[in-house]
């Protein structure tokens, strides 16, 4: 039994160090005092439950930084740190009989850094600040949130580079922590409720199946995956949380057996990845961006590239969405790029959706974002059978430079620049979800040389679609529909099959070429329907250059009736070199796919000159047997210098006469 000491300020922390004792007789005593012992909470002082009260500890002595401290209770207990320093070598809390709270303005100093909750029942809450004296291991015997372990005080280490290893169970961190040795997560569940919850160094995961739940909005820690399985990052809902998580540092993983698997999901919200994600050298490397099963939406925004490369034959790519055949699960997911970067470090992107429609594309303000996974983009849709490919901002281009294909027997449709939903982070707090509608108006560009193979058709709803493949069909085997206010262009090939064709609806625009002059080829070899239909109110735009060079439309494997015109207005822009007397071929008609044998068009009217030729007179559209051409008329002469001078002189004379007349009248 340890002997008691008077309860004085001097005895609040026992003398344990050799330099505090003098003389050889004390050496043996000091050695025994420095040996680590277990000090248990008794709570015997009925007046209070303060840590600093010796009567609350067995033996009547306060624990020191050389002691293992054990707190147990017959029921729920609050231990007060009443503005003093509390010391322990390590701390173990048994919550079998009731929950335990450690609170107050004092500071808990853990010499070894070790802290654990040993019971699966009830919870442990520490709201006082904690100072680590070494890197320590923390754990919770319970994996249940109701029997959790919550630390809301600030965890620090005086800048000594001490860290925390989380061994198992559930923990919630909500303090603005400053410990600098990193947080090593081995298993269980961690709730990150403060931007600085993980301290100032890296967050390392060695878990095979860990869950990391966020209600903090801006995490600056680097994230390192060293585990052997999949870790789940979950976006939670909480009062005051706007449902946006920004991961501002890199995510890396290499060398683990299968530790390159990472999954993001949770409540409707926005995930922003500001730096690179690199998962390499694992047997499996996979990034799963799950969608919502209900009517919500999860949005994933990337500012840097993602690199996924496995050493085995397993998956090495990104999966977007939540595949389900349940019609009530109509939620969706969006994968968006917010910088003009090349997004191509993964093997593939799989678009997986149930009753909802996922969105994939760029939201950068200007320039070109390129999406080009090495093995293509697979459309794996279960019910709605559609995907939305977007480029948000006017003038910005999102280029899909890889093959887009579908998986399964049901045709999948592509929507270009359809409106999509995203959680409104300025209006959402807690469980109340507020969504905003995003309306893209940029340019989507299909540039895979070998074309694309989806079968459900393409609808351009806003902005523009440019098709720039060099073989097969840039829009798969389905038809293409251009809605009012949208345009279709490019210098590639569109080859619909079956009864499908291309329809430019009223208000829609057909504008072949790109920023430079080009010819859009439309192949009718596989279709039995009309190849190209311009409804009344649809317009065309052609760029005109020097020496008869212009944008053009080549109709391949053409049959009479494949082109339907409805008095459509044709507008022109000067690409440099437009001059009087030039002839430009707007449409050409070919009987073969190669475009080597001309054929009769059967077209004798249907186009009307619009804007762009105001400087010329007598321009007209010429309907030839094998082509439709624009003939530019004579230039309207500008008034010569002498005429302008004469007009100016007459004006001066008239002004003088007017002044002379005014003087006579006066």
Strand stretches in 530-599, DSSP E: 532-534, 539-545, 552-556, 563-564, 568-576, 583-589
What is the percent of the chain with per-residue pLDDT over 90, rounded to a whole number? 74
pLDDT at 520 over 90: yes
Q: How many domains does the chain contain in total?
A: 1
Q: What is the pLDDT of residue 624?
A: 97
Is residue 134 packed enough to be buried (19+ CB in 10 Å), middle (13-18) or exposed (0-12)?
middle
CB 136 within 8 A of CB 111: no
Answer yes or no: are the C-beta atoms of 96 and 119 closer than 8 Å.
Answer: yes
Mean pLDDT check: name the lowest of 63-67, 145-149, 242-246: 145-149
Judged by average pLDDT, the poorest of 22-36, 171-185, 340-354 is 22-36
Higher pLDDT, residue 308 or 631:
631
What pLDDT is recorded for position 665? Answer: 46
Residue 216 has pLDDT above 80, yes or no: yes
The parent domain of residue 499 ranges over 448-635
**What is the chain's percent helix, strand, coil content, to nearest 5?**
5, 40, 50
Judge contact between 145 and 125, C-beta under 8 A.
no
In a domain, 176, yes or no: no
In a domain, 166, yes or no: no
Per-residue pLDDT, averaged over 258-268, amounts to: 80
Q: Where are the beta strands (DSSP E) in 447-564?
A: 458-460, 464-467, 480-482, 487-490, 493-494, 502-504, 509-512, 519-523, 532-534, 539-545, 552-556, 563-564
* Tens of pLDDT, residues 367-385: 999 999 999 999 987 777 8
Is residue 548 predicted with pLDDT exceeding 60? yes
Q: In the prediction, which pLDDT does 649 show?
A: 58
Q: In this predicted structure, what is the pLDDT of residue 476?
A: 98
Asked if pLDDT for residue 419 goes beyond 90, the answer is: yes
pLDDT at 14 over 60: no
Residue 343: inside a domain, yes or no?
no
Q: How confident is the model at residue 337 (pLDDT cuts 50, 70, 90)?
A: very high
Check whether 592 has a pLDDT greater than 50: yes
Instruction: Let me know if residue 623 belongs to a domain.
Output: yes
pTM reported for the whole predicted model:
0.89
Asked, for residue 485, whether it belongs to a domain, the answer is yes
**Predicted pLDDT of residue 29:** 37
Give the pair of three-digit tokens for residue 189. 């569940």
> Highest-confidence range of 45-59, 427-441, 586-600, by mean pLDDT?
586-600
What pLDDT band is residue 241 in, cutting at 50, 70 and 90?
A: confident
Sign of CA dihedral 148, 152, 153, 159: positive
Give CA–CA dist 104/10, Å, rounded. 21
Domain for residue 606, yes or no?
A: yes
Structure confidence at residue 31 (pLDDT): 39
What is the SS3 assignment for 598?
strand
Lowest mean pLDDT among 67-81, 502-516, 647-661: 647-661
Residue 13 has pLDDT above 50, yes or no: no
Determine the pLDDT at residue 408.
Answer: 79
Q: Report yes or no on 489 lying in a domain.
A: yes
Give the confidence band of 240 by pLDDT, cuts at 50, 70, 90.
Answer: confident
Residue 253 has pLDDT above 50, yes or no: yes
pLDDT surpasses 50 at 357:
yes
- pLDDT value at residue 4: 36
3-state SS assignment for residue 659? helix
Q: What is the pLDDT of residue 230?
A: 79
**Is residue 531, in this structure, part of any structural domain at all?**
yes
Q: Are 192 and 150 within 8 A, CB to CB?
A: no
The pLDDT, as a whole number, for residue 537 is 99
Amino acid 329: pLDDT: 65
Q: Which of 25-39, 517-531, 533-547, 588-602 has the lowest mean pLDDT?
A: 25-39
Least confident of 126-140, 228-242, 458-472: 228-242
Q: Is the confidence at residue 350, as pLDDT, over 70? A: yes
pLDDT of residue 432: 83
């Amino acid at each position: 039994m340890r002997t008691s000491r008077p309860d004085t300020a001097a005895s609040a922390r026992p003398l344990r160090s050799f330099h505090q004792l003098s003389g050889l007789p004390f050496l043996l005593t000091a050695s025994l005092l420095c040996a680590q012992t277990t000090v248990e909470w008794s709570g015997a002082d009925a007046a209070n439950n303060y840590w600093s009260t010796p009567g609350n500890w067995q033996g009547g002595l306060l624990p020191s930084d050389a002691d293992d401290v054990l707190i147990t209770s017959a029921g729920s207990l609050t231990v007060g740190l009443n503005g003093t320093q509390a010391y322990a070598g390590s701390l173990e809390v048994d919550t079998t009989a009731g929950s335990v709270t450690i609170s107050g303005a004092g500071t808990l100093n853990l010499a070894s850094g070790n802290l654990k909750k040993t019971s699966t029942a009830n919870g442990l809450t520490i709201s006082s600040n904690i100072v680590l004296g070494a890197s320590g291991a923390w754990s919770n015997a319970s994996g249940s949130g109701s029997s959790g372990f919550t630390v809301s005080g600030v965890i620090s280490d005086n800048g000594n580079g001490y860290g925390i290893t989380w061994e198992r169970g559930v923990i919630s961190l909500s303090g603005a922590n400053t410990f600098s040795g990193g947080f090593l997560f081995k298993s269980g569940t961690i709730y990150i409720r403060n931007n600085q919850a993980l301290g100032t160094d890296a967050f390392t995961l060695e878990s095979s199946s860990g869950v990391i739940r966020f209600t903090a909005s801006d995490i600056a820690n680097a994230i390192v995956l060293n585990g052997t399985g999949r870790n789940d990052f979950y976006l939670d809902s909480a009062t005051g949380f706007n449902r946006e998580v920004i991961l501002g540092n890199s995510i890396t993983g290499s060398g683990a057996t299968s530790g390159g698997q990472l999954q993001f999901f949770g409540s409707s919200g926005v995930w922003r990845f500001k730096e690179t994600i690199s998962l390499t050298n694992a047997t499996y490397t996979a990034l799963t961006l799950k969608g919502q099963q209900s009517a919500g939406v999860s949005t994933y925004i990337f500012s840097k590239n993602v690199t996924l490369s496995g050493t085995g034959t397993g998956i090495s790519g990104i999966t977007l969405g939540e595949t389900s055949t349940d019609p009530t699960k109509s939620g969706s997911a969006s994968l968006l790029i917010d910088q003009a970067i090349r997004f191509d470090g993964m093997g593939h992107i799989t678009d997986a959706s149930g009753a909802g429609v996922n969105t994939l594309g760029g939201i950068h303000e200007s320039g070109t974002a390129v999406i080009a996974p090495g093995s293509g983009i697979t459309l794996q849709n279960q019910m709605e059978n559609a995907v939305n490919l977007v480029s948000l901002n006017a003038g910005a281009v999102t280029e899909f430079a890889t093959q887009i294909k579908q998986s399964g027997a049901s045709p999948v449709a592509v929507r270009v620049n359809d409106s999509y939903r995203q959680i409104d982070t300025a209006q959402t707090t807690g469980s109340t979800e507020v969504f905003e509608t995003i309306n893209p108006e940029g340019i989507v560009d299909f540039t895979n040389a070998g074309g694309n193979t989806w079968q459900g058709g393409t609808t351009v709803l806003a902005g523009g679609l440019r098709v720039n493949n060099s073989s097969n069909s840039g829009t798969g085997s389905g038809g293409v529909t251009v809605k009012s206010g949208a345009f279709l262009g490019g210098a590639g090939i569109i080859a619909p099959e079956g009864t499908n064709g291309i329809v430019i609806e009223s208000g829609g625009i057909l504008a072949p070429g790109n920023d430079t002059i080009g010819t859009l080829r439309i192949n009718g070899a596989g279709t039995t329907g009309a190849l190209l239909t311009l409804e009344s109110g649809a317009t065309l735009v052609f760029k005109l250059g020097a020496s008869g060079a212009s944008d053009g439309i080549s109709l391949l494997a053409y049959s009479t009736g494949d082109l339907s015109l409805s008095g459509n207005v044709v507008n022109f822009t000067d690409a440099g070199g437009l001059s009087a007397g030039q002839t430009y071929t707007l449409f050409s008609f070919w009987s073969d796919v190669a475009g080597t044998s001309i054929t009769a068009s059967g077209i004798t009217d249907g186009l009307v000159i619009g804007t762009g030729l105001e400087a010329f007179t007598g321009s007209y559209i010429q309907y030839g047997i094998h082509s439709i051409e624009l003939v530019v008329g004579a230039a309207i002469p500008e008034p010569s210098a002498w005429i302008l001078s004469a007009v100016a002189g007459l004006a001066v004379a008239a002004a003088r006469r007017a002044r002379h007349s005014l003087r006579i009248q006066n």
